[in-house]
Amino acid sequence: NAGVTQTPKFRILKIGQSMTLQCTQDMNHNYMYWYRQDPGMGLKLIYYSVGAGITDKGEVPNGYNVSRSTTEDFPLRLELAAPSQTSVYFCASSYVLISYNEQFFGPGTRLTVL
């Protein structure tokens, strides 16, 4: 199993541009999550999904959109990129809605908006 994969690893965007961060998991997990990690900070939840076709907002959803058309894929869309979105983005998945169960993380995407 590859686990959770994310592409790209690095990206530089200009203000106002758009892009999609890709996330795929091959563990047949129902639950998937997007986090952002700002320098010197913990993770903040952007969006999560409890299954194909179902998504919900987390703590910091503004400026982002997600979709979940399949169990495996959970892309994160940035519209009109802003410098405040400069961060490292992590995708994660779990077998059940976190609770006591482990979340498996991807390697992250480092995004810079200039």
Partner 1 sequence: AQTVTQSQPEMSVQEAETVTLSCTYDTSESNYYLFWYKQPPSRQMILVIRQEAYKQQNATENRFSVNFQKAAKSFSLKISDSQLGDTAMYFCAFMKHEGRGSNYQLIWGAGTKLIIKP
For position 107 contacting partner 1 by CB under 8 A, the verdict is yes
Exposure string over 74-90, b if 16+ CB within 10 A, otherwise e: bbbebeebeeebbbbbb
- How many residues of this chain bind partner 1 (CB under 8 A)? 24
From 13-21, 62-70, 75-83, 85-93, span contacting partner 1 (CB under 8 A)? 85-93
For position 17 contacting partner 1 by CB under 8 A, the verdict is no
Handedness of CA 61, 67, 71, 73 (dihedral sign): negative
Check: CB of residue 68 under 8 Å from CB of residue 54: yes
For position 26 contacting partner 1 by CB under 8 A, the verdict is no
Q: Cα(67)–Cα(54) distance, rounded to whole angstroms?
A: 8
One residue of 43, 52, 73, 95 binding partner 1 per CB under 8 A: 43
Q: Are strands 109-113 and 10-13 parallel, antiparallel or unpaired?
A: parallel
From 16-24, 61-69, 73-81, 97-105, span contacting partner 1 (CB under 8 A)? 97-105
Residues that bind partner 1 (CB under 8 A): 40-45, 48, 50, 56, 58-59, 88, 90, 92, 97-100, 102-103, 105-108
